[in-house]
Structure 1
Amino acid sequence: MFPHRHPFANGGPLLVTSVLALLSLGSLSWTTVHAAPTPNTHQFLETNCYDCHDSDTQKGKFRMDNLESLDPSEAAKKWGRILSRLEAGEMPPPKKPRPPQAETAYVLKEIKVTLAAEAKARRAEGRTHIRRLNRLEYENTVRDLLGITTPLQDLLPEDDTADGFDTASAALSISPVHIQRYMEAAETALQAALVRGARPEVVTRKFTFSDEKEQKGGALSHPNNKPMIHVRDGSLHFFSEPHIEVPIQSFQFAEMTKASPGRYRLRVSAFTHDAQGRSLAFAMKTTRSKKLLGYFDAPADQPGVVEAEHWFGPGDTVIIAPYLLNKARRERKLGQYAAKDGTPPQGLALGIEWIEVEGPLQDTWPPVGHQRLFGDVELKPFKSLPKDTVLPLQPLRYSEKLTPVSGNPEADARRLLTGFLARAFRRPVTAEEVAPYLAIAARHWEQKECFESAMLEAYQTALCSPDFLFLVEEPGPLSNHALASRLAYFLTRSAPDDALRAVADRGELRKPEVLRRETERLLTSPRSQAFVNDFLDHWLHLRDLDATMPDKELFPEYYEIVYSSKVDGLLRESIASETRLFFTDLLKTDGSLLQLIDSDFTYLNSRLAEFYGLPAVDGVQMRRTALPADSVRGGVLTQASVLKVTANGSRTSPVLRGAWVLDNIIGRPPPPPPPNVGAIEPDTRGSTTIREQLAKHQNSETCASCHRQIDPPGFALEAFDPVGQWREAYRTTETGTEVKVLNVEGGKVKYRIGAAVDASGSLLDDSRFVGPKEFKKLTLRQSDAVARCIAAKLVTFSTGHHTEPGDILALDAIVASAKKNHYGLRTLLHGVIQSELFTRK
């Protein structure tokens, strides 16, 4: 439907021919700046590079004497590698003669300026390509358009990724299967937005121990003599099934949601009974969608109230589950049960004073989705329609339900469609654009179908149209509405809101000061959390956090009890939250993005601090926490989320972690491995170390050039195991020193202590490091490269097209602006949005 253009095919001369021609002539603007003559780039490459990178020395590897004969896309990649290696000071190698620094800087500037000029001339159609909404964007857009919470992503085919993101136009193809699924998803969404009856009454129900008798065991008496619900073995005993996590059924919450699905507010008054004054935690989650509402603390001996809101579908209810209660009892060696004479237990217990449910909550009525579909068209019972009307639903079933009935179908339909299409298409629509959809509706009511059915056909067609499914942009500067869409999908992962659409309607968004103001407004909005979550899911691969499960024998700390298959839910949530909250903090405060490499703080709770071996933190709520001066933590490279997604569950690989750091942090991804290269097999028995396994690669001339770049970051991170804990030795399953006691549930573990970890290494410039702290300091010497890498990731994520060598000059300008403000992350993001990379197609 919308063919993708080859990135270098616009009818112009080959990339490399034009670049080399311009470079060989030199740039007038630059030669006039320098008093002394400077060599052109051809001479520089011949003098400093060709000795090692010509046909005689490379024999099919990285050659630079054949640039003029390469395919344009391959030439562009090579120019990118040349720039990267020269900027990093990696070439010429340390043992080779080095050209003067000023000469290298001049050549780098010449290459960037010329590539940027060539790219501008080549991109008559723009640097980006038309793309469709991905599954997340589709669901969010329909949610905001119709005011529904119905999940839609699973109704659509999986999206592919390219360049690390599922926003890439190259990955977002469309097929007949997509069209069929879009039709089904649109029908589901439209039905969810309809009103069938009067406004449901908001009900508040409060339940106490006197209402809900526990199944066994006496009530725990609180000091104020109020009866409490006593939890003894990890489940709430006032439920019908005491030995498992059981939903709240007995106070009829499921009946409430079955009759009136919607948004409900839950409030729970809970406390911990503990003679030592310490507190427990508990989780709340839904039964059907398995959505975690959160972990909460139950204060010691004095009830505290926690609150959560969630949309509950028909018959859905909530689970309240104490967090590792039995484990806490065993660790504290406390008694578990009440005495036979009925006195309160001496051990731990979770008390629930009361549970309150309020809902369904509605901000407006009719709901916003129904208003956008049918406005103020009067709602009447189905049975009031003429007998020959074709109904969209079974009339007997819905005889008492309501449906919109119009006295002037054509006028109402034209008005409703004009408003709906403008929102759905994210721009004003003309009468000519409305006409086909009006004709669809008219054709249906002319066949005696009811007004509702006729309009739903038109709306469903609109939600399957290219104007809705695709982000359509014209060559050149983006129009105000196209820019509004790009900005909104970047920072909120959904369509422009009313305020942003109004600015675009006035034609003001392209003004830099207005664009900055709207950027600030969206970043301040809670909706920007969607950007943080989705960007980190792809950039840092947090979406893969559960892709592999740690070996239960090697890393039992990740599980609730030793050798169980149940992950410690609080730990898993804390690991993900640390990275999201850390990035959000930098974005909110305009903190230096260099803190992504190393920082003196992070976000912790009691469980994660214990997992990291850091000083205790009270409670399960994540909070900004200063790190000890000698801590190995600080920055995303030492956070468990990143360390886990760069391991396979049983072992770590310096190659995997090293390549990840080069690609996602430094911005110099290594080339793909040569074909038929031998893989490194995992060795959990401990007979060989990872360095010994890598030696065969480093001893091979074919492999060594890449491994000299890849391995050092990976070696530095060997100090952390596959779940992100600090280690000084590897864990093994067969050989090694036996471990008799470990502070995990159950005490004795099966793994053994193997060889010592060697986290030292050296970079290409022979700078040596021992451990991650020294490696991070060396990485900070490449501050501009790190900032440019993050800027490039933001550009790729927001525009749907990866950055190319011709974009490096623009990226450098973004970095230079942020550098003036200590590399502020928020400043960098503003620079991306204000640049031509973002504001032009």
Structure 2
Amino acid sequence: MMKIPTCLVRVVAPAAAATLVTAVLGSAVFASAPQYNEEAEAFLEKHCARCHNDERMAGNWTLSDVALDDVSKGMNLADWESVLRVTQRGEMPPASRPKPGHEELQGFVDWLQGSLDGYASANPNPGRATLRRLNRNEYSNAVRDLLHINQDLSEALPADDSGYGFDNIADVLSVSPVLMDRYLAVAGKVSRLAVGLGSDQPYTTTYQLPKDGSILNQGVPSYDERMSHYLPLDSRGGGVFEYYAPQDGEYEISGYLNANTNNEVDRLEDNRVSLRVPLTAGAHYIGMTFRKDLALDERVQILHNTTEEVPLPSAPPTSLTLDFVVDGARVGSTEVPSYYMSPRYAQHNFPRDVLEINVAGPYEVIGPGVTPSRAKIFSCTPGIWPFTENYCAQKILGKLARQAYRRPVEANDIERLMKVYRQAQTQSNSSFEQGIAAAIQAILVSPSFLFLYESDPQDAAPGTVHRISDVEYAARLALFLWSSLPDEELLSLAEKGKLREPKVLQQQVARMLTDDRALALEQNFAGQWLYLRNLEFHRPDVKEFPEFDVPLRDAMKRESELFFSSIVRNNASILDFLKSDYTFLNERLAAHYGIAGVKGPELRRVQLAPDSMRGGLLGQASILTVTSYANHTSVVRRGQWVLANLLAAPPPPAPPDVPALKAESTSGKALNAREQLAQHSKDPACHSCHVRMDPIGLSLEKYDAIGRLRELDAGRPIDVTTAMPDGRAFEGLYGLQDVLMDSREQFAGAFTERLMIYALGRGLEANDQPKVRQIIRTARANNYPMHEIILGILTSEPFNYRMVPAHEKTTAAVH
């Protein structure tokens, strides 16, 4: 069969569409197909007609609906996109039917893809527009950047619902009276704190150090480690937390000590230590920790969990040095006694450790001090005319509102805030600063702040498409890369109409991705895409995995976060997610992996040996752990995760009555994972899904439920040789990586889809898929660099344009 002719041409569209395409995509070209194609018709008749006909209606479509001269007629675009996906992946025709030859299949795929892309180019559609509320992480970041106040407000707000795998999806971010009450309370507290009106009456903030009940860490107690980079280098145990001092003054740092037993229920005054220190207003890292140079006898530092008699040291030390730490520096120390528990406990010897840290204050208040918040807010100080209080209030509120509302402010914006300011001032003879605090609270609960609002042209007809303004684009850009507000540089460029100039945009994206605020991509996008947020709530069985503890869990999570951020910051290829010769380790995680030569608690980039059995996401313990059960691995979960998250090809949900895997044979013999699945997949209803998932999961079976290498399962050697449904044989992690690298374009498309969903705050539809394909076609030439994927999204039609919703013609700004 002759390959279907395909030509690449510049799209010729109606005037408005042509302007749109040129403005957004420049000189991009799209595949265009002949209006009618006999080979395409023959392909459909040969390989699809048996199931997709008027009688069987498989997949809920029939060839009777197909119009080969116009893909927009008859069968809808979503069905055509589905046909394209399953034929590209080789999932259709099904395994029971003869498969088309490579050229025959590629010809049909080229024709269909060209038809869909050509139609999309001639009929611009950026997707439906939805009013989008800031989620709680975005709200917290926006307040931080608006007021320069280092406070995490997300935990003070209710958790947000998720859609399409992310919690920034407009459709699920509803608003309730309860939520508005929380916004008012949070806004009131943070506005007073930022202005410098925080409480001058003492109150106590409590931080409980995480305890995980683990017994051993390679033979050394986990509390023998340095617990944070905010603590001195020669420290062990204890902890540190971020505390915001509301005023300049004195504060009492205190803590309760324990012996690391399981009866940590009492807060005895005998176990309390404290110290008063002066603190300036603002954020500080407060900690308590022991000095290693005065550590206990080595025999005491080892936790003995055996039935053998372990003699106590004949002359145990009688005291330890406990340091009080502020912002990494020791501000005081005290000697605390050391003691031993009764020999009746299995864990015979326990050095002291910190159970809880409290900070009480302020005492001896001096004043609000000089903080980044006050410096940002009070850009105008009342004094000699014309700098009256009203004049400065207007200047201050106008500047804050411009950034908060992500647009130039108008006179009525300022007047609304000034009304709140004047009302607060007249109540009980309030001060200038109290009036400013009240107006800032009003900003923080304004719909213009809470919602990403975009306006339509006056008298625009429903369903028409228009380009969003530059300041609206800046707001989208900052929300995507920073989960926050645009800064002054972005706003200024947007107001001058320069932000979307290609060189300027590239420079700004590079700047933004190296800024600390880009950690939001790591925490919010990667945290949800890779399920890293789930790790905090994953509880491996303590009997099966006694070595799993908080430091190990945190190191697992940070490895994946730093790996993601490294690819973003260095503009590396996204294919590193599949296969890499480096990762990020500290001593604890390296020991877990069996990798020598890594010392200390700080994670750093480590070059991997060719035989390390690590590299890429699937060699990381975080992914292997969250895709396992508490006490054993899961071939199905791991296979499903790869299909859904890396290939955008999730299997259908399991039926409600699916039987559980049997851990034993009828004779009582323990079955390994391969044997359990072989028995389970005998059911034809199960086989169709498991044939795709199981080879992937089986190849990772040499990693246990917390990501360590192992050789045995159910007492027998683990076999990680397997094959994909198309017959490709492979073995273990490295073989799976090669299989995924062979599907690199599918992975690039899947990653781009996930990132575009996150960037747009909505699910993708059929009309979005041609834009995804255009992005990966462009990035393919340079081996899919991260920045090119991001810039492709930023210059795409959905990110730059807006369709006027059917329910509204035009609107004024929200207030």
Relative to the length of structure 2, the TM-score reads 0.71
Matches within 5 A, 1:465-476: 465-474=446-455, 476=466
Question: Is the CA contact (8 Å cut-off) linking 2:663 and 2:671 kept in structure 1?
Answer: no
1:138 alignment counterpart? 139
Cα deviation, 1:367-389, whole Å, max 9, x if unaligned, reads 3433554543459xxxxxxxxxx
2:594 alignment counterpart? 613
Q: CA RMSD in A?
A: 4.8
Matched letter for residue 411 of structure 2: A
Matched letter for residue 711 of structure 1: D
Cα deviation, 1:726-773, whole Å, max 9, x if unaligned, reads 22223xxxxxxxxxxxxxxxxxxxxxx534434332212111222222
Matches within 5 A, 1:300-315: 309=327
C-alpha deviation, 1:434, in angstroms: 2.3
Find the residue that maps to 2:186 and give its secondary structure. helix
Matched letter for residue 417 of structure 1: L
1:577 alignment counterpart? 558
1:631 alignment counterpart? 612
Find the residue that maps to 1:158 and give its secondary structure. coil
Q: 1:717 is matched with which residue: 667, 686, 700?
A: 700
2:315 alignment counterpart? none
Question: Is the CA contact (8 Å cut-off) linking 1:606 and 1:617 kept in structure 2?
Answer: yes
2:630 alignment counterpart? 649
Find the residue that maps to 1:476 and give its secondary structure. strand
Question: Is the CA contact (8 Å cut-off) linking 2:753 and 2:772 kept in structure 1?
Answer: yes
1:330 alignment counterpart? none
C-alpha separation in 1, matches of 2:429 and 2:600: 59
Find the residue that maps to 1:429 and give its secondary structure. coil
Q: 1:688 is matched with which residue: 667, 671, 682?
A: 671
C-alpha separation in 1, matches of 2:506 and 2:738: 34
Find the residue that maps to 2:397 and give its secondary structure. helix
Question: Is the CA contact (8 Å cut-off) linking 1:115 and 1:805 kept in structure 2?
Answer: no
Find the residue that maps to 2:498 and give its secondary structure. coil
Q: 2:283 is matched with which residue: 262, 268, 271?
A: 262
C-alpha separation in 2, matches of 1:662 and 1:126: 26
C-alpha deviation, 1:89, in angstroms: 2.7
1:387 alignment counterpart? none
1:810 alignment counterpart? 771
Cα deviation, 1:639-665, whole Å, max 9, x if unaligned, reads 100011111211222222111101111
1:533 and 2:523 correspond: yes
1:707 and 2:690 correspond: yes
C-alpha separation in 1, matches of 2:102 and 2:489: 51
Residues 28 and 144 from structure 1, CA distance in 2 versus in 1: closer, same or farther, beyond 3 angstroms?
Answer: closer
Give unpaired runs (5+ residues) of structure 1: 1-26, 200-227, 282-304, 327-335, 338-347, 351-358, 380-403, 559-567, 731-752
Cα deviation, 1:480-515, whole Å, max 9, x if unaligned, reads 112212222222221112222221122111112111
2:735 alignment counterpart? 774
Question: Is the CA contact (8 Å cut-off) linking 2:540 and 2:630 kept in structure 1?
Answer: yes
C-alpha separation in 2, matches of 1:441 and 1:657: 56
Question: Is the CA contact (8 Å cut-off) linking 1:609 and 1:615 kept in structure 2?
Answer: yes
1:83 and 2:87 correspond: no
Matches within 5 A, 1:736-815: 754-815=715-776
Residues 52 and 557 from structure 1, CA distance in 2 versus in 1: closer, same or farther, beyond 3 angstroms?
Answer: farther
Matches within 5 A, 1:205-284: 241=257, 243=259, 252=275, 255-257=277-279, 260=281, 262-263=283-284
Residues 233 and 136 from structure 1, CA distance in 2 versus in 1: closer, same or farther, beyond 3 angstroms?
Answer: closer
2:400 alignment counterpart? 420
C-alpha separation in 1, matches of 2:74 and 2:500: 32
Residues 157 and 268 from structure 1, CA distance in 2 versus in 1: closer, same or farther, beyond 3 angstroms?
Answer: closer
2:165 alignment counterpart? 164
Matched letter for residue 370 of structure 1: R
1:510 and 2:505 correspond: no
Question: Is the CA contact (8 Å cut-off) linking 1:375 and 1:416 kept in structure 2?
Answer: yes
Residues 456 and 318 from structure 1, CA distance in 2 versus in 1: closer, same or farther, beyond 3 angstroms?
Answer: farther
1:411 and 2:391 correspond: yes
Find the residue that maps to 2:715 and give its secondary structure. strand
C-alpha separation in 2, matches of 1:470 and 1:233: 43
1:664 alignment counterpart? 645
Residues 240 and 80 from structure 1, CA distance in 2 versus in 1: closer, same or farther, beyond 3 angstroms?
Answer: closer
C-alpha deviation, 1:137, in angstroms: 0.6
Matched letter for residue 373 of structure 2: G
Cα deviation, 1:43-91, whole Å, max 9, x if unaligned, reads 43232123245576x686676558679x999966544432222112333
Question: Is the CA contact (8 Å cut-off) linking 1:795 and 1:832 kept in structure 2?
Answer: yes
Question: Is the CA contact (8 Å cut-off) linking 1:686 and 1:754 kept in structure 2?
Answer: no
1:149 and 2:150 correspond: yes
1:39 alignment counterpart? 38
Matches within 5 A, 1:212-611: 241=257, 243=259, 252=275, 255-257=277-279, 260=281, 262-263=283-284, 309=327, 366-378=370-382, 408-445=388-425, 449-450=429-430, 451-474=432-455, 476-558=466-548, 568-611=549-592
Shifted more, 815-824 versus 493-502: the winner is: 815-824
2:344 alignment counterpart? none
Matched letter for residue 165 of structure 2: G
C-alpha deviation, 1:408, in angstroms: 4.4
Cα deviation, 1:74-113, whole Å, max 9, x if unaligned, reads 9665444322221123333467444454443343344334
Find the residue that maps to 1:718 and give its secondary structure. coil
Cα deviation, 1:422-460, whole Å, max 9, x if unaligned, reads 111011111133223323333454566524444433332
1:622 and 2:603 correspond: yes
C-alpha deviation, 1:683, in angstroms: 7.6
Matched letter for residue 48 of structure 2: C
Question: Is the CA contact (8 Å cut-off) linking 1:440 and 1:458 kept in structure 2?
Answer: yes
Bigger relative contact order, structure 1 or 2 (CA pairs below 8 A, ≥6 apart) = 2
C-alpha separation in 2, matches of 1:60 and 1:264: 62
Matched letter for residue 82 of structure 1: V
Question: Is the CA contact (8 Å cut-off) linking 1:597 and 1:635 kept in structure 2?
Answer: yes
Find the residue that maps to 1:624 and give its secondary structure. strand
2:247 alignment counterpart? none
Matched letter for residue 702 of structure 1: A
Question: Is the CA contact (8 Å cut-off) linking 1:606 and 1:619 kept in structure 2?
Answer: yes
Shifted more, 474-483 versus 142-151: the winner is: 474-483
Shifted more, 590-599 versus 643-652: the winner is: 590-599
Question: Is the CA contact (8 Å cut-off) linking 1:422 and 1:429 kept in structure 2?
Answer: yes
Residues 600 and 444 from structure 1, CA distance in 2 versus in 1: closer, same or farther, beyond 3 angstroms?
Answer: closer
C-alpha separation in 1, matches of 2:332 and 2:785: 44
C-alpha separation in 2, matches of 1:240 and 1:695: 54
Identity %: 31
Cα deviation, 1:524-544, whole Å, max 9, x if unaligned, reads 222222222222111101000
Q: 1:826 is matched with which residue: 768, 776, 787?
A: 787
2:305 alignment counterpart? none
C-alpha separation in 1, matches of 2:255 and 2:416: 57
Cα deviation, 1:681-725, whole Å, max 9, x if unaligned, reads 778997333344434653333332222222221222222111111
C-alpha separation in 1, matches of 2:239 and 2:565: 35
